Amino acid sequence: MDAISVIRTKRDRGRLTDEQIDWVVGAYTRGEVADEQMSALAMAILLNGMDRDEIARWTAAMIASGERMDFTALPRPTADKHSTGGIGDKITLPLAPLVAACGAAVPQLSGRGLGHTGGTLDKLESVPGWRASLSNDEMMATLRDVGAVICAPGTGLAPADRKLYALRDVTGTVESIPLIASSIMSKKIAEGTGALVLDVKAGSGAFMKDVGRARELAATMVGLGNDHGLRTVALLTDMSTPLGLTAGNALEVRESLEVLAGGGPADVVELTLALAAEMLTAAGLPDADPAKALRDGSAMDVWRRMIAAQGGDPAAPLPTARETHPVPAPTTGVLTRLDAYAVGLAAWRLGAGRARKEDPVQAAAGVELHAKPGQPVQAGQPLLTLHTDTPERIPEALAALESSYDIAPPGTTLDRTPLILDRLD
């Protein structure tokens, strides 16, 4: 085997053999294939695609590059969830303890934000003392004692993906559906969970702007999961408007606590309950009642124990920004559009996100929404509030929000897009 012949095969729209895939993924992980060669192959895959068997084999090779976890010794079934990311997407925070309160174990391996989309680990690190990095033994102990854990994946899981992901990020090949699907699913399959529910988002604030492309990605990942023996289902959800009323880190934790206390924004509650029902059904617990676990406080109890198990203080106050800046509604009427991407970009510019993986983030930075599309607004009253520790960032955030919303005359009715667009299994 040699890298040039593998590149030429895909460049010329050929199908990679199992042997070629196994060799090139393994050799790249070992450093025997140069970055520029894998870059050329990734671009050829982006341009010419892969069939289902190729994607399945590529995913298997990524899994085989590292360790696989095993949760079969746990006394309860396991289920996990993965979101492709969006603005205000804090669903993992209330979802993991909620599903655990209903009888499943949730080994939730999460990531950090990059660009306009936030990261679950960044949000949780706004809780004083909480730590993202756990050993496998610590993770197992927390799952056994608490039922839920949210942490960073260990370096032993799919190391080929870690290396290839960094390369794709700087070579313009992130958008390839075969490479996205295999990246996500190799880690989730290696993680060893018994069931997986995918939240694949479409819209301006999502990675996949087009619903058709998002559906293709969802179908590819569902196929990969089931081909590898992992019970997998996907919900296709709308991300044209931010989820909930906050985009940031501590702001989203605060809103998640409202959900766990039995309140919170209707869209966050709706999606949390829908994903919980899918996870519990896939885990063999279809009769569990997640809505009851929110009402009776049992999900909040699991949250407190989960945070404490990872070194955090669930009773400590969350950080608040040193500076806030209201954005008033220019006219009275009905808000008909609030662009998710613009809100995410503003939050990023305020310090809630990072441009590079090594950049720090501000725990308290972000954007607070005072209205969602379909709701009335009053001229001069805050439409949004910007939060930041560095007020010199505010002008750039305001620039991101220009032309990001529409206000129609009073009495206007709005045909709303449903939050859940489709379900694939």
Active site residues: 82, 161, 168, 183, 187
CA of residue 317 relative to chain centroid, distance: 25
Q: How many helices (H) and strands (E) does the chain have?
A: 16, 13
Residue pair 405/357 in contact (Cβ under 8 Å)? The answer is no
Distance CA 247, CA 85 (A): 12
Residue appearing with tokens 């090594």:
358
Measure the CA dihedral 86/89/91/93, to 10°: 120
Distance CA 182, CA 212 (A): 19
Distance CA 3, CA 192 (A): 31
DSSP 392: G
Three-class SS of residue 174? coil
Distance CA 302, CA 142 (A): 11
In angstroms, the first-to-last Cα distance of the chain is 37
Sign of the four-CA dihedral 408, 411, 415, 416: positive
Burial class (CB in 10 A: 0-12, 13-18, 19+), 229: exposed
Determine which helix (DSSP H) or strand (DSSP E) holds 326, and give its type and residue range. strand 323-328
Distance CA 83, CA 395 (A): 31
Instruction: State how beta strands 80-83 and 376-377 pair.
Output: unpaired
